[in-house]
Chains A and B, each alone.
Chain A
């Protein structure tokens, strides 16, 4: 099993969610995040004084998938999230030892 984490531009969340649903992914966790990567922050000017705002609002999306689905799901997210401009975000996956569905106690792939 794999945990796929995607950092997205907030306005691309709906596109990614729709694409994942169309791909058969029925669950995800979304949280607000802030950060920066290669694009850095941006500059704001107040009464002529420049301030660098380096923590930019992002959305963090997490999905648990079977190993076999990981590459295709990542591809779906990347395709839906891309605008081609700097600051589009990142997607990564890490191995997951165990997953338990709280209601039924199912374990492993059955719990996804």
Chain B
């Protein structure tokens, strides 16, 4: 393949996509913030905001190199190097010459993925996490979990002449994950499960009402996530082309299907379709279509979405049966939705819509792709879960991961940040109702 030249149209789309993906993290802060009680909104949103701060700084120092550096030629990590990124101005070749955009634009785009992934975890441990411990966790977790896993999944090698070296472990195994079903969602979902188990339940779980304090904030957050996700998925084409268009359309129709799937389950099971269900269904659909968006036809995207919405609507009840307080359903939405999306490619994947795609079961491609998808999904799940347990255990034993019982009851906003979100935060509507 010839070196692809820099293209200003592609670069413009990628700069816009990068900004769109950044917007998802404040969007997530609203999505999560609306779901907690009035006494913990600010802490919930701050867990996302501080993640933007920490990961951006680490990315410049060494993060990008660990994920996408080329000198190690390893399937497990890029390079261990304190690069500062400054040497890459006008550098087009460090990406292997495969994409028509500058390396720095690629680095900025991938940074936004590295930010939102740990931010997603925060929903599993709402209302009770010591803020400094969270900050330390984010720094360690992205360094030893996200950066390497991003290399496994998203590093397609460095082309020198006709040899390609340094292909990521899972990319080399033939895993199809277009925008991060494994690296982002299964990764964050498994980590959320590990931390929810490690930190334990909130005081009063299942005894007092922990209903969402502001569903309009949740709706606002899901809208921002949906909007930003077009950058996440369509931007992952790393070019403004037909594949980006396919990913864009599939993102829309799968999300729409999942929104309907979730509220239909609610209507049948509970009698009422809810606004929280519509918002959650949309996010479940976005999660599920993320790995599949450029490998399946739009009709299949609708099916993937509807199933994702229904599946996740049922999966969020598991925590009550199994007895762990995954407060905002990071497991039920991101882990379950991510697994389904990743596996679904094994059924619905087709080369008809994407020449580099492989045919899945329904297109006569056999079970080979399904096996690769399942292997990749479970490998990331297991690594993230175990690594997170170890990191979390060490933090818990040294600086402590949870606020005191009194601080949790009085409200984490007041105790960790000396702020309250509303005039009457902590009043019966927020803290103690029912």
Contact = CB atoms under 8 A, between A and B. Distances in A.
Interface of A: 34, 41, 44-49, 51-55
B266 A55 contact: no
B434 A48 contact: no
A25 to B, nearest CB: 32
B267 to A, nearest CB: 11
A47 B209 CA distance: 13
Given A51-B211, A53-B209, A55-B428, A46 B274 contact: yes
12 contacts: A46-B276, A47-B313, A47-B316, A47-B317, A48-B269, A48-B313, A48-B317, A51-B211, A52-B209, A52-B434, A53-B209, A53-B433
B317 A51 contact: no
B413 interface: no
Closest 8 A/B residue pairs (Cβ): A51-B209, A45-B270, A47-B316, A48-B317, A53-B434, A51-B211, A46-B211, A52-B434
Contact of A48 (B210, B266, B433): B266
Given A48-B266, A48-B313, A41 B434 contact: yes
Interface in B327-359: 329, 332
B320 A46 contact: no
Interface of B: 209-212, 266, 269-270, 272, 274, 276-277, 280, 313, 316-317, 320, 329, 332, 428, 433-434
Binding site of B, secondary structure by majority: helix, strand, loop or mixed?
A: loop
B413 to A, nearest CB: 21
A48 B316 contact: yes
A34 B429 CA distance: 11
B434 A47 contact: no
Greatest chain B CB density within 10 A among A34, A47, A53 is at A47
B317 A46 contact: no
B316 A55 contact: no
Contact of A54 (B266, B277, B434): B434
Given A46-B212, A48-B266, A55-B434, 5 more contacts: A47-B276, A47-B313, A47-B317, A48-B270, A53-B209
A49 B317 contact: yes
Contacts of B434: 41, 51-55
Contacts of A45: 266, 270, 272, 274
Contacts of B212: 46
A46 B316 CA distance: 10
Nearest to A52: B434
Contacts of A46: 211-212, 274, 276
Greatest chain B CB density within 10 A among A41, A44, A48, A51 is at A48
A54 B272 CA distance: 20
A49 B320 contact: yes
A84 B90 CA distance: 77
A106 to B, nearest CB: 38
Contact of B433 (A47, A49, A55): A55
Nearest to B319: A49
A54 to B, nearest CB: 6
Contacts of B317: 47-49
Contacts of B209: 51-53
Given A49-B320, A52-B434, A53-B433, A44 B211 contact: yes
Nearest to B314: A48
A83 to B, nearest CB: 23
B422 to A, nearest CB: 17
Greatest chain B CB density within 10 A among A45, A46, A53 is at A46
Nearest to A47: B316
Nearest to B312: A47
A41 B320 CA distance: 23
